[in-house]
Amino acid sequence: MTDFSLAPGLYVAATPIGNLGDVTKRLADTLAAADEVLCEDTRISGRLMQALGITAKLRPYHDHNGPQVRPGILAALKDGARIALISDAGTPLISDPGYKLVAEAREQGIQVYTVPGPCAAIAALSIAGVPTDRFSFLGFAPAKQGARQSLLREVMMREETLVFYETGPRLSKMLRDVTEVMGDRPVLIARELTKLHEEVVPGTAASLADIYESQPPKGEIVVVLPPAAAPQPTEEDIDRLMEEALKTLSLKDASEEVAKKTGRRKRDLYQAWLGRTR
């Protein structure tokens, strides 16, 4: 590590989410060479440094003290300091504090570097067996039921995978709300990722709520909801689309357009409307 050179700037560095073997050489070199390491909890980060054999100057940085300590951190960076920003586990700023520091550093022309690595949300998606071409990460659902259900109603019809973080004590309540708002749809629970008891548990929102109500899980939890099934168009929907299309298109072209939108067969639409347009 002695030959590693670290340029001045802010280093947003990902740490393991449970398995120390996921530490990269670049992460270890960065933490060892940094003038200061900003962390959420010095006790947790101190154990990581001890395991890596690194003597680092740790400094708490979190939502509660950010406004007070951020000006001093930015001043040090402007003077050429090399500062690393880490979270308790995983990639900083992914449902963790730090974005205001990064935003203000960039506004002041300070170089911000990434030291990429583990992220629980991405790790869960990679092994869940759900569509990943489009997904939304929604962080921790609100703790209060009303706000939580409001969020679920907002995203319930998105045709993409939804990813949440959740705590063990709140998991069953969150799944009950999913059932109430979205129906008893499929859900996957990923927990203890990269650790000895890593697991992905598939089920429905209601069945998993029953399980976790009596046995609240421990550890880091990722809730994955596969995309909502696209609602099937009713006959009234088909009629409305055909009538709209026929205002500007021939019956043949209208049938083709509506078939693409609804999944219906073009031939069936054409035949059904042939007599109606004469």
What is the structure's pLDDT at 234?
A: 84
Cα–Cα separations (whole angstroms), residue 210 to 172, 176, 183, 225: 7, 9, 15, 17
Class of domain 9-118: alpha beta
> Which region holds residue 10: left if phi is over 0, alpha if psi is between -120 and 50, else beta?
beta
Model confidence pLDDT, tens digit, residues 79-116 = 999 999 999 999 998 766 789 999 999 999 999 999 99
What are the boundaries of each domain within the chain?
A: 9-118, 121-225, 235-277
What is the structure's pLDDT at 159?
A: 86
Cα angle 13, 18, 22 (rounded to 5 degrees) comes to 55
Cα angle 268, 228, 232 (rounded to 5 degrees) comes to 20
Which fold does the domain 121-225 belong to in CATH?
A: 3.30.950
What is the structure's pLDDT at 278?
A: 59
Structure token pair of residue 95: 């449902």
Residue where the block lists tokens 């168009």: 233
What is the structure's pLDDT at 129?
A: 94
User: CB–CB of 140/165 below 8 Å?
Assistant: yes
DSSP notation for 64-99: TTHHHHHHHHHHHHHTT-EEEE--SSBSTTSSSS-H
C-alpha to C-alpha distance for 72 and 76, rounded to whole angstroms: 6
Model confidence pLDDT, tens digit, residues 174-213 = 999 999 999 999 999 999 999 998 999 999 999 999 999 9
Residues of the chain with pLDDT under 50: 1
What is the structure's pLDDT at 228?
A: 80
